[in-house]
Copies of this chain bind each other. A is one copy, B any other.
Amino acid sequence: MKTVGELGEDGLIAQLCGGLSVSGKVVVGPGDDCAVVGEGDLLTLLKADAVVAGVHFLAGEDPRRVGWKAVARVLSDFAAMGGTPGELLVTIALENKTPVDWVIRLYEGMTKCLDQHGGVIVGGETTSLPEGAPAMISVAGRGTVKSSEVVTRSGGRPGDAIYVTGTLGGSIRGKHLDFTPRLEEANWLTRHFKINAMMDLSDGLAKDLPRLARMSGCGFEIDRETLPLSEGISVEEALGDGEDYELLFTSGDEIEGTWGTTFPDLRLTRVGQLILGKGSPLEGGWDHFKR
């Protein structure tokens, strides 16, 4: 009998999504950074995400950084759709012996991120865990996006330039906990340009770009020499490390000039283009179940 580890994350999700029915008010269903529901000028984004001790953070990590990450991951997904954070729910699952102070500092990190980037916690749930089980923090909630500015993974077109913000790789040195969700940048992009496809880079460019291209019905080619490497990082690490939480997007517009004057402190790099057909495979990237 096949295990989820053998099938892998994308295979598992594909199998599960096949059995789901989709109703009229669902604009974007499973498979994108957020679900999009509703109708009219202002649509609702729905997102749920979880971080687990030993997987997304070390058990001894500063809980304020854990809280920041748990919330920022969701905000990063709202950004990837061109949206704005709204109301969030926090589910925490902890061993009984967890110090109260740990939880208070976890919330400090969450509210610090929300104060800086938008969104508010409106509720949640607590549950105990069996002795020895890793702590888990799940953040779920809604955002909003103008229907004229919503961007999915599936709108890319052959000939689109492929862009990434910031630098790639080496996130484990700290950025995976302290990263900035690219809400401001994404909102600026969708207001000023025709962004055809966008997602946030969570599992590494080698894993995420093929997802975007596949959902857009395109191939892709990238120029490895152009990849914006984090300091001391190899091309392979930049492709495969994951948890960059930068924006990956495609557009037919010329963006780099205006970007440079608007966001002088954040690199924007054109790394390749979408093409007709299947394009070249990329090795690497993080699979939640395959390692």
Chain B neighbourhood of A127, CB < 8 A = 50, 52, 55-56, 288
Nearest-neighbour CB distance to chain B for A98, whole angstroms, equals 5
For residue A252, CB closer than 8 A to chain B, the reply is no
Instruction: Report copies per complex.
Output: 2
Query: What per-residue 1/0 map shows which CB atoms of A207-249 lie under 8 Å from chain B?
Result: 0000000000000000000000000000000000000000000
Whether B32 and A123, one on each chain, are in contact in the complex, defined by CB atoms closer than 8 angstroms, is yes
15 contacts between A and B (CB under 8 A): A1-B99, A2-B99, A3-B96, A4-B94, A4-B103, A12-B103, A16-B107, A19-B111, A20-B120, A37-B87, A46-B123, A46-B142, A48-B91, A48-B123, A48-B124
Assess whether A104 is interfacial by the CB under 8 Å rule.
yes
Q: Are B134 and A100 in contact (CB under 8 A)?
A: no
Contact A91 B138 (CB under 8 A): yes
Are A20 and B91 neighbours in the complex by a CB distance under 8 Å? no
Query: Is A75 at the interface (CB under 8 A from chain B)?
Result: no
Residues of chain B with a CB closer than 8 A to A288's CB: 126-128
Q: Shortest distance in angstroms between A126's beta carbon and chain B's nearest beta carbon?
A: 6
Given contacts A1-B100, A89-B35, contact A129 B122 (CB under 8 A): no
Chain A 92-132 near chain B by CB (<8 Å), digits 1 or 0: 01101111110110011001000000001111111111101
Chain A residues with a Cβ under 8 A of chain B: 1-7, 9, 12-13, 15-16, 19-23, 25-26, 29-32, 34-35, 37, 44, 46-50, 52, 54-56, 86-87, 89-91, 93-94, 96-101, 103-104, 107-108, 111, 120-130, 132-134, 136, 138, 140-142, 288-290
Instruction: Check B126–A9 contact: CB distance below 8 A.
Output: yes
CA distance A165 to B87 in the complex (A): 32
B123 near A30: Cβ-Cβ < 8 Å: yes
User: A23, B120: Cβ atoms under 8 Å?
Assistant: yes
Please state if A26 and B103 are interface contacts (CB–CB under 8 Å). no
Taken together as a complex, chains A and B put the C-alpha atoms of A96 and B55 apart, in Å, by: 12
